[in-house]
Chain A
Amino acid sequence: MHDVGYLVAGYGVTAAALVWYRWRLARRASRARHLIATLSGRPMSGRGNGR
């Protein structure tokens, strides 16, 4: 039974780490887009790739 606890913790941590990093990247992208739009005086171009 204890083994299952370690297993759930391991797979849970893996999923949480991947979701957290993806969420953090999305937040960083959104912040950068917002900054560009504010400074350039142009409306935010949706989910543009910033190229």
Chain B
Amino acid sequence: MKVLDRLLITVGTRRAQRVLGWLTLLGLAATAVFALAVVPADAEQGDVQRLMYVHVPAAWLAFLSFGVVFLASVAYLRTGQIRWDRIAVASAEIGVLFCVLTLILGSLWGRPVWGTWWTWDPRLTTTVVLLLIYVGYLSLRNVADSPSRRAHWSAVVGVVGFVDVPIVHMSVVWWRSLHQEATVIRPGAPTMDPSMLVALLLGTVAFSVAYGYLMTVRLRVGRLEDHATSTVMSRPSPRARAPRPAPASPQPVGGERHA
């Protein structure tokens, strides 16, 4: 726990964020150059296969983000510390962004290769379900009326929702699918040309650094927004600040009239 605290403090500094930002830019630029200019085109699919170098890392990042939501949610339910909720919601937001990106990139790849923008294939369907679960997670946070209840409900969804991640990964094995099977994370050696594998790994590392950078920025924004909310809550309401009417002057004893 102390190691995590130290890590969060270190990467939360402006200097560390700047370094992470530059590393992200460099990594993504290197991935683009490597994927578009260095690696040869696929023998069957041609140039469009180069979308793999952003589609697969985006999917990996969505899984990573939802994995962090799961771990932070478990930690919140165990400890009740609100910082775990902050980490979970930051990661969920980034995960949703990359899950949407995965679906868009997959659609762009599927159109020329499969001949369709979309099909209700098991991999695609389970990925949409995954996206809906975490969109629901973020929407749920607007419903709860107290911070602790919001964190508790979110943590439960964060734990239960993660069940879909292994289902998405295994969907191409369990069901007949149009989507290709895993080529890297699979039993045995990766079934891919070494230069393609290097480009894919470079993309995965670059996207992971981007995740680290976006997380540090998102956590800082979360702290600022919490501070702003607590500042608003600590201010007396306009009604409380309005001058109270003077109490009515006491009636003289015996001055009451009875009908």
- Give residues of chain A (24-49) contacting chain B, Cβ–Cβ below 8 Å: 25, 28-29, 32-33, 35-36, 39-40, 47, 49
Chain A residues lying within 8 Å of B210, measured Cβ to Cβ, are 18
> Is B112 an interface residue, CB under 8 A from the partner?
yes
Task: Count CB-based A-B contacts (< 8 Å).
Answer: 87
A28 to B218 CA separation, bound complex (whole angstroms): 10
- A sample of 12 cross-chain residue pairs with beta-carbon separation below 8 angstroms, ordered by A number, consists of A3-B46, A6-B48, A10-B109, A11-B36, A17-B101, A21-B214, A25-B214, A25-B217, A29-B220, A33-B228, A35-B232, A49-B224
Partner of A14, one of B50, B101, B218, B225: B101
Partner of B105, one of A13, A21, A39: A13
- Give residues of chain B (104-148) contacting chain A, Cβ–Cβ below 8 Å: 104-105, 108-109, 111-112
Secondary structure type dominating chain A contacts? helix
Chain B interface (Cβ < 8 Å from any Cβ of A): 12, 14, 28, 32, 36, 46-48, 50-51, 54-55, 58, 94, 97, 100-101, 104-105, 108-109, 111-112, 210, 214, 217-218, 220-221, 223-225, 227-228, 231-232, 235
Interface code A1-22, partner B: CB below 8 Å = 1, 0 otherwise? 0111011011101110110011
**Contact status A7-B223, CB under 8 Å:** no
A28 to B227 CA separation, bound complex (whole angstroms): 13
Given the known interface contacts A14-B58, A22-B217, the answer about A7 and B51 at a Cβ–Cβ threshold of 8 Å is yes
A47 to B232 CA separation, bound complex (whole angstroms): 20
Given the known interface contacts A10-B55, A50-B227, the answer about A32 and B221 at a Cβ–Cβ threshold of 8 Å is yes
Chain B nearest CB: distance from A8 CB in Å? Answer: 10
A49 to B221 CA separation, bound complex (whole angstroms): 8
Secondary structure type dominating chain B contacts? helix
Chain B nearest CB: distance from A9 CB in Å? Answer: 6
**Contact status B221-A25, CB under 8 Å:** yes
Chain A residues lying within 8 Å of B111, measured Cβ to Cβ, are 6
> Taking CB as reference atom, which chain A residue is nearest B46?
A3
Chain A nearest CB: distance from B11 CB in Å? Answer: 12
**Contact status A36-B54, CB under 8 Å:** no
**Contact status B32-A3, CB under 8 Å:** no
**Contact status B105-A14, CB under 8 Å:** yes
A36 to B46 CA separation, bound complex (whole angstroms): 54
